[in-house]
Structure 1
Amino acid sequence: MIKSTAPTRIDLAGGTLDIWPLYLQFGNPPTLNAAINLYATVELTPRNDKKIFVESKDLLLQVKFNSLASLPEVHPLDLILKTLKYYQPKKGLNIVTSSEAPPGSGIGGSSALNIALNGALNAFTKKGLSKKKMLEVAMNIETQVISAPTGWQDYFPSLYGGVQSVRPGYDGVASVALPVSLQKLSESMVLCYTGNPRRSGINNWEVMKKVLDKDYAVTEKLKKIAQIAREMDKALTLGHMKKVTALFAREWEARKSLAPTISTPQINKLIAGGMKKGAQSAKVCGAGGGGCIAVMVPLKQRQSVVSELVRLNGRVIPFCFVQRGLRVQVT
């Protein structure tokens, strides 16, 4: 059996600008994120026949196909099936997938599952892909499945763990692991699920189109996000947590101005409630429109903030930042 696990992430600054060609329009700014201990898991067991059995515990779906050749072109489990077609396993197998992230949480659950799946199938087929190549395959398949532009950022923490500065360049996109105290970062943050899956608060294609059409308002807002990301990179590298906290607040102010759908009444209520009880800053995770919020709070006020978020019908999710990325175990 092969068991493959990959962490999800909390994005800290620079999201949306990890999408080609947006980063090229803004001087290749970094995107900052960090892996957390909510994992996507893929368990893969070989069969003695050609049949393929797939179970998604999150979607409560079980499907069986007679062979690789019989996989359909369109299916609710498209991401898994297209990845199977890419790796071309020579024999049948059972695949069971699950995720510890709530549905539509905005913490990169689908990308973590994608990386875990690539890790499992890469080991099963002995294809020998590097992590960099697996990342490219995962991103391209996900882009095809959702029929929309996707960014680079989510795959790096799932692959490598830790705090990542995802840095685009003219010759590709790389990442640098930042020397951040994961314990301090974990102690300073609370993760809260709003109770509603995100309905993408920002349409990447619309943002891209407006930038390429030279929309002044959108371009200026993204310039702010790019500058905040550069400052966040420096603050994290130097371990300046007060600066990180302040930049977290600025990121949210700039981000929610991009579209009225990024924040919601429930997000606003939870953030306001947390701030009232001593939180210092907060922002939505991912594209917004629901999902999770990340709240930065001093250790002394942590319990007061947690109690208030729960009172306001938020679901506080215990977590910590982790150094580990993709892990594939063969038994």
Structure 2
Amino acid sequence: MLKHQRKSTEERDESVLQALHNIKQVAVDVQSCLERGDLDEFARLLDYSWQEKRRLAPGLSTGFIDECYTLALKNGALAGKITGAGGGGFLMLYCHEHAQDAVTKALEKHGLKRMNFRFDHQGASVVLNVASFSQHWIAPYAEPEPQFQPR
């Protein structure tokens, strides 16, 4: 996905360039919505961002993803999008609390698993569920090398 996006950008594909500009502006608008506590506008922008992201590369979504997204909306989700580079990762959905159980049940029947998330002020971070991976997937911890030596 990223390779296609980079190629389209280098070739000045107007559709891709416009989508990237729109997504960048949406990020600014989303921050403002969250700071104001306007979660319904956040949902509208999240959906718009997903529609723009789909313009970036063919194959970004699949029939299964589209089916799950539609199912989530029919069961009460207000918006969502795929997160993660390369077209994989998570289907992030936003819905009011009263609709969460219906959305969860509908998507679990399609083989998806619910993972809760929350907003914080630290920015993006990675949390690894060690129980989900074999020992071969975990890099051993090593103390980082100092970047400079004090005098």
- TM-score (normalised: structure 1): 0.35
The equivalent of 1:277 in structure 2 is 75
Shift of 1:246: 0.7
Alignment of 1:21-100 (within 5 A): none
Paired residues of 1:218 and 1:258 also in contact (CA < 8 A): yes
Shift of 1:222: 1.3
The equivalent of 2:53 in structure 1 is 255
Which has the larger share of strand?
1
Paired residues of 2:72 and 2:107 also in contact (CA < 8 A): yes
The equivalent of 2:103 in structure 1 is 305
Deviations 1:252-280 (A, max 9, x none): 00001211211112211111111111110
Shift of 1:211: 2.0
More contact order relative to length (CA 8 Å, sep ≥ 6): 1
The structure whose Rg is larger is 1
The equivalent of 1:233 in structure 2 is 31
Shift of 1:321: 4.3
The equivalent of 1:317 in structure 2 is 115
Paired residues of 1:228 and 1:251 also in contact (CA < 8 A): yes
Q: Give the Cα separation in 1 of the matches to 2:97 and 2:25.
A: 28
Three-state SS of the structure 2 residue aligned to 1:315 is: coil
Paired residues of 1:262 and 1:287 also in contact (CA < 8 A): no
Identity of aligned residues (%): 25
Alignment root-mean-square deviation, CA: 2.3
Structure 1: runs of 5 or more not aligned:
1-201
Three-state SS of the structure 2 residue aligned to 1:259 is: coil
The equivalent of 1:65 in structure 2 is none
Deviations 1:162-212 (A, max 9, x none): xxxxxxxxxxxxxxxxxxxxxxxxxxxxxxxxxxxxxxxx22x43233223
The equivalent of 1:214 in structure 2 is 12
Three-state SS of the structure 2 residue aligned to 1:295 is: strand
Shift of 1:288: 5.2
Alignment of 1:138-153 (within 5 A): none
AA aligned to 1:269 is E
- TM-score (normalised: structure 2): 0.72
Q: Give the Cα separation in 2 of the matches to 1:250 and 1:301.
A: 21
- Number of aligned residue pairs: 125
AA aligned to 1:208 is R
Q: Give the Cα separation in 1 of the matches to 2:26 and 2:103.
A: 26
Deviations 1:7-36 (A, max 9, x none): xxxxxxxxxxxxxxxxxxxxxxxxxxxxxx
Structure 2: runs of 5 or more not aligned:
127-142, 144-151
Paired residues of 2:15 and 2:55 also in contact (CA < 8 A): no
Which has the larger share of helix?
2
Kindly indicate whether residue 98 of structure 2 is the aligned counterpart of residue 287 of structure 1: no
